[in-house]
Amino acid sequence: MESLRDIRQNIKAIKSTQQIMQTMKMISNARIKKAQEAMVAARPFAQKMLEMVDDLKQDILALPQPDDGSETWAGRIFVNRTGDANKVGLIVITGDKGLTGSFNAVVLRSALAFLRENKDKEIFVFAIGKKGRDFLNRLKMPNLHLVYESVGIFPKVSYVHADLLGDAVLKTFIQEKLGSVTLIYNDFKSMASQTLRRTQWLPFDFDQVQKEKEESDFEFEPGMLEIFKILVPRLMKANLYRVLLESQAANLAATMNAMDAASKNAGELVTALGVKLNKVRQAGITNEILDIVNGAEALNN
């Protein structure tokens, strides 16, 4: 049986841990409002950029293809007929720290499933978040190339981070002639839940388009393709920025919920140990009384 000293030390240690959990919950709660505001503010611009480029999609694809059998820059972005099917890209967005419930685990499980599905291909990875970066480094797969990494950016994500990531993804996609690029991250649904997203990032897949659009009558100066080359990187970076903000808000919400649950569990454990402490103390007092009574009876006899 544990001594009174051991139980008191356990209670003290759990209370100390509980205070840390409550502090982390308070910090996440203080940051989540700002993160939500930034996330909501980024959504309309990203959506409008999608709609704008989608309006030009059919016009761009109608451009004549080169005679040498290659593909235009626009064709690579939308259709990618000449991409190498044995080369794929993967963007993984996780948190930098643990104590977030299943937030990181679900992303890493999905990333691992993707790696298994493409084990016979060359995989070019873009890792955002320390947890994802460390996980991928531990795999030591010969066909896995960590092209870009960014850690320590949460919870202070800025457009600069999306700008750097977008440049790296586009550069690798074009130069390495990747067949596709997949994005895996947690989308913010509500304070109580986050949704795992695994989407094809390149070539672009406009899910919101229900039917083919007719070619527009716009005239472009200096030219359609030149304007498109300016719009697409901005489109990608605007949506990557939105994704980073979504993941940031989801991370903070997951941390807050995990710390709240852990703090409640710690409180229940402290209560159970308090009951155990009283039982052990009462048992000790009872044993002392019995010893006194037995000693007195021995003297009387």
Identify the pLDDT of residue 209: 44
Cα separation, 34 vs 27, in Å, equals: 12
Cα separation, 5 vs 8, in Å, equals: 5
CB-neighbour burial class of residue 231 (10 A; exposed 0-12, middle 13-18, buried 19+): middle
- 225 sits in the region (left: phi over 0; alpha: psi -120 to 50; else beta) called alpha
Cα separation, 203 vs 185, in Å, equals: 18
Identify the pLDDT of residue 207: 56
Per-residue pLDDT of the chain (301 residues; tens, 9 = 90+): 677 888 888 888 888 888 887 887 787 777 887 787 888 888 887 777 777 777 776 676 666 666 555 566 667 777 776 778 899 999 999 999 888 888 899 999 999 999 999 999 999 999 999 999 999 999 988 999 999 999 999 888 999 999 999 999 999 998 998 999 999 999 888 777 788 999 988 887 655 444 445 555 667 677 777 777 777 888 888 889 999 999 999 988 888 888 888 788 888 888 888 888 888 888 878 877 877 777 777 777 6
- Would strands 144-150 and 193-202 be described as parallel, antiparallel, or unpaired? unpaired
CB atoms within 10 A of CB 146: 14
Identify the pLDDT of residue 245: 92
Which contiguous run of DSSP H or E holds residue 91? Answer: strand 84-93
* Domains of the chain, earliest start first: 21-205+212-258 (3.40.1380.10)
Cα separation, 283 vs 287, in Å, equals: 6
CB 252 within 8 A of CB 155: yes
CB atoms within 10 A of CB 237: 23
CA distances in angstroms from 98 to 95, 259, 297, listed in the order given: 7, 11, 62
Cα separation, 287 vs 217, in Å, equals: 97
Identify the pLDDT of residue 279: 84
Identify the pLDDT of residue 211: 43
Identify the pLDDT of residue 150: 94
Residue 127, SS3 per DSSP: strand
- Would strands 193-202 and 178-190 be described as parallel, antiparallel, or unpaired? antiparallel
Identify the pLDDT of residue 220: 67
CB 151 within 8 A of CB 97: no
Identify the pLDDT of residue 197: 92
